[in-house]
Chains A and B, each alone.
Chain A
Amino acid sequence: MSAPILIETWSSDDETAVSANARLAKTDATHVLWLQSPARLAPGALALLGSVITRFDPDLLYGDSTVNATDEVRVLRPAFSPLRLREQNYLGPVVVMSVAWMRSVGGFDPAADGIHGYDFALRYDGAPERVVRVPEVLSVLPAVESPHSAEPDAVTRALAARAVRGSVERREDGSRRVRYDVIAEPLVSVIIPTRGSSAEVRGSGGPLVTRAVRGLVESTSYPNIEIVIVADDETPQSAIDEVLATDNHRVRLVRYSRPFNFSAKINAGAIHASGRYLLLLNDDVEVIESDWLGAMLGLAQQPGVGVTGALLFFEDGTVQHAGQLYQRSWAGHIGDPGHSNPPGSFGITREVSGVTAACALLSADDFWRVGGMSPDLPGNFNDVDLCLKLGMLGRSAVFTPDAKLFHFESKTRDATVQPWEIQVLRERWNTRLLLDPYWNDSARP
């Protein structure tokens, strides 16, 4: 960058949209630091921001905060997450924007007085890598943040500006939900690999795949589905009969006669699927709420979204999956009891590094573009690999708590990871497995 960096600090206490636009027209600054009252800048923040801007020339920056200037409560922010931003203003009170970009999007919106930093970020439509999260403390908060009353309207305007069909609602816990309309009701092919295993769940036994198919047929409100069952040779005849008895019009059977390979089974199912979207579903799941598939599909249809995952519970009600976490050269699930729940993170739709293939929705086109699931990973990490391949195409992975299912994983699966499996994964994605951009370990100072 040739021009010297000049950052001006503008406070929400001093500026309305009218005064700020007048100032924006005249300023010689290259960047505006929007400071949301009553927070204050952390010592050294301006110098740090100047060095980051000099290095990367971003359009928009934000960073971490402390509460009451102690590191006891440190608010760590995720990497730029546009869908999460609509449900949660995670940016914090310091948002730095390039003046050229602010002018290019029309300046301050008079309808957004009080939340201009958030409003600008909602309107951001450039390259995601030009939004930078600075992993240092930029601001000091007097108390833990709470949502501003003007935020829902700002989100509604942002949806309208992008012609996104959907609505902004309030969740039961007080947080915000964006409900995306499903466009054109496309056919969803649900691919369920099975060997017909039986287990007792809540006192009743029988093949798990029957329970899963029954949930799809009887407890799913989205109507346009087909069910592709990829069944091992060993699958009991009774399980096949029960599945067909549930709904033989929408069920397709695909025989799998080779040694176990989850990826190959999913790929075999995809070859026989005719839907525009593929839902990868384990046979040991049970639907909890009927609108789960519509919620996932509405998200999957958003631009840039590659794969959408669900909130999965163990039989005892603890969280099994709220997204995947890739860090310290390992890949695992975000869920109880392994992880804390930073404010609202289990309860909002948000970008994640990946989602489990126990319940994952993606477009058939994207599935074919990345070569489906890797047969080199027959048991573990094939979903991690799939999500990272989609990421390489610029497609995001999104978790939503609005699709809730039980996952009786412990009933059917040996969770042992072989050393060669993690080796195969690291050969492809070594760097990407070191730090997770979307999840900060809140226990770490």
Chain B
Amino acid sequence: MTGPVPDSWHAEEAEEAGAPRALGLEDQLALLDRVRGLEARLAEYSAGGRAPSNVLSAEQEVVRMQSSLAWRLGNAITRPSRIVGRLRRRR
């Protein structure tokens, strides 16, 4: 926390800048934000809990993507290297 610059504005403030009460509450908010963020990241790794409408839309999007020209071309181009990779893993 830095203090106000010397030629800054002057007026009655709601609370003295940098008051411990305010800083403590800011820390509390930041901590809660971290917790919510970690919960969100954890949920990202969880397969369950998705709403059926979202599951159906995602499945439709996958089908759409896999039927696209770009996907089919990429699939055809990379097929030989995938076959070679599979054979190597078997040995």
A interface residues with partner B (beta carbon < 8 Å): 52, 55-56, 58, 79-80, 128-129, 131-136, 228, 231, 233-237, 239-241, 244, 252-255, 257-258, 264, 267-268, 270-272, 368-376, 385, 388-389, 392, 427-431, 434-435, 437
Contact = CB atoms under 8 A, between A and B. Distances in A.
Contacts of B14: 228, 252-254, 272
A255 B33 contact: no
A392 B54 contact: no
Given A258-B1, A271-B22, A375 B30 contact: yes
B32 A371 contact: yes
A135 B60 CA distance: 7
Contacts of A437: 51, 53-54, 57
A79 B33 contact: no
Interface in B14-55: 14-15, 17-18, 22, 25-26, 29-37, 39-41, 43-44, 50-54
Those 6 A-B pairs whose CB atoms lie nearest each other, nearest first = A371-B32, A371-B33, A56-B52, A372-B29, A233-B8, A255-B17
Given A235-B9, A271-B25, A370 B36 contact: yes
Contacts of B56: 52, 132-135
Contact of A135 (B32, B51, B57): B57
A321 B27 CA distance: 32
Contacts of A389: 33, 36, 40
B73 interface: no
A272 B9 CA distance: 19
A255 B4 contact: yes
Contact of B37 (A237, A257, A428, A435): A428
Greatest chain A CB density within 10 A among B5, B34, B37 is at B37
Contacts, number: 132
A254 B9 contact: no
Nearest to B33: A371
Contact of A257 (B4, B32, B60): B4
A132 B15 CA distance: 50
* Chain B interface, >50% SS class: helix
B22 A268 contact: yes
B22 A272 contact: yes
A293 to B, nearest CB: 22
Given A253-B13, A435-B57, 18 more contacts: A132-B56, A231-B9, A233-B4, A233-B9, A234-B8, A239-B9, A253-B11, A253-B12, A253-B14, A254-B15, A257-B3, A271-B25, A272-B14, A272-B15, A372-B33, A373-B33, A392-B40, A435-B61
A371 B4 contact: no
Given A257-B18, A374-B37, A368 B52 contact: no
Contacts of B11: 240-241, 244, 253
Given A237-B10, A258-B2, A136 B54 contact: no
A430 B32 CA distance: 20
B51 A129 contact: yes
Greatest chain A CB density within 10 A among B11, B25, B41 is at B11
A443 to B, nearest CB: 14
Contacts of A270: 29
Nearest to B12: A253
Contacts of A368: 29, 32
